[in-house]
A and B are shown apart, each in its own frame.
Chain A
Amino acid sequence: MLFGDRAKFIGIVIGLTFASLLITQQAAIFAGLMTRTFSFLLDVGLPEIWVVDPRVKYIDDIKPMDDNAFLRVRGVEGVQWAVPLYKGTLAVRTKDGTYQSCSIVGLDDETLMGGPRTMVSGDLSYLRRSGAVIVDQTGAGGKLAHLLPDGKSIPLKIGSEIEINDIEAVVVGICKVSATFQNIPVIYMTYSSATLFTPGQRQLLSFVCVKGKLGQDLHALCQRIELSTGLRAYTANEFKVLTFLYYLKYTGIPINFLTAVALGFLVGIAISGQTFYNFTLDNLRYFGTLKAMGASNNMLLRMILLQALVVAGIGYGLGVGTATAWGMYMGSHTQLSFRLPWHLLVFSALSVLVICFTSAALSIRKVMKLEPAVVFRS
Chain B
Amino acid sequence: MNDPVAEKIAERKIAVHCEGVTKSFGVGNSAVHALLGIDLEVRTGELLMLVGPSGCGKTTLISVIAGVLRRDGGECTIFDQDYNRMNGDEMTSFRGANVGFVFQAFNLIPSLTTAENVATPLIINGMKPKPAVAKAREMLAQVGFDERMMGCFPTELSGGQQQRVAIARALIHSPRFIVCDEPTSALDGETGLKVMELLRKMGCVENRALLVVTHDSRIYKFADRIAAMEDGRITEIVDSSSKLKALSKQTI
A322 to chain B minimum Cβ distance, whole angstroms, is 27
B193 to chain A minimum Cβ distance, whole angstroms, is 22
Q: Is the CB of A293 within 8 A of B109?
A: no
Given contacts A293-B124, A299-B124, contact A373 B69 (CB under 8 A): yes
Interface size of B by CB at 8 A reads 28
Interface size of A by CB at 8 A reads 23
Instruction: Determine if B92 is an interface residue (Cβ-Cβ < 8 Å).
Output: yes
Point out residues on B near A: beta carbons under 8 Å. 59, 62-63, 66, 68-69, 89, 92-93, 95-97, 99, 101, 103-105, 107, 109-112, 120-121, 124-125, 153, 181
Interface string of A62-81 (1 = CB under 8 A from B): 00000000000000000000
A375 contacts across to B, CB distance below 8 A: 68, 101, 103, 107, 181
Given contacts A376-B62, A376-B68, contact A290 B120 (CB under 8 A): yes
A selection of 6 A-B contacts at a CB cut-off of 8 Å is A293-B101, A293-B124, A294-B125, A295-B92, A296-B93, A372-B68
Interface string of A1-22 (1 = CB under 8 A from B): 1111100000000000000000
Q: Is the CB of A290 within 8 A of B124?
A: yes
Given contacts A289-B107, A376-B62, A377-B59, contact A296 B68 (CB under 8 A): no
In chain A, what residue has the closest Cβ to B112? Answer: A4
B103 to chain A minimum Cβ distance, whole angstroms, is 6
Q: Is the CB of B109 within 8 A of A289?
A: yes
Q: Is the CB of A371 within 8 A of B69?
A: yes
Interface string of A338-355 (1 = CB under 8 A from B): 000000000000000000
A288 to chain B minimum Cβ distance, whole angstroms, is 8
A296 contacts across to B, CB distance below 8 A: 89, 92-93
A290 contacts across to B, CB distance below 8 A: 109, 120, 124
In chain B, what residue has the closest Cβ to A3? Answer: B111
B56 to chain A minimum Cβ distance, whole angstroms, is 14
- Counting from the closest, the 6 A-B pairs by CB-CB distance are A294-B96, A4-B111, A372-B68, A289-B107, A373-B69, A373-B68
Q: Is the CB of A294 within 8 A of B103?
A: no
A378 contacts across to B, CB distance below 8 A: 104-105
Q: Is the CB of B111 within 8 A of A5?
A: yes
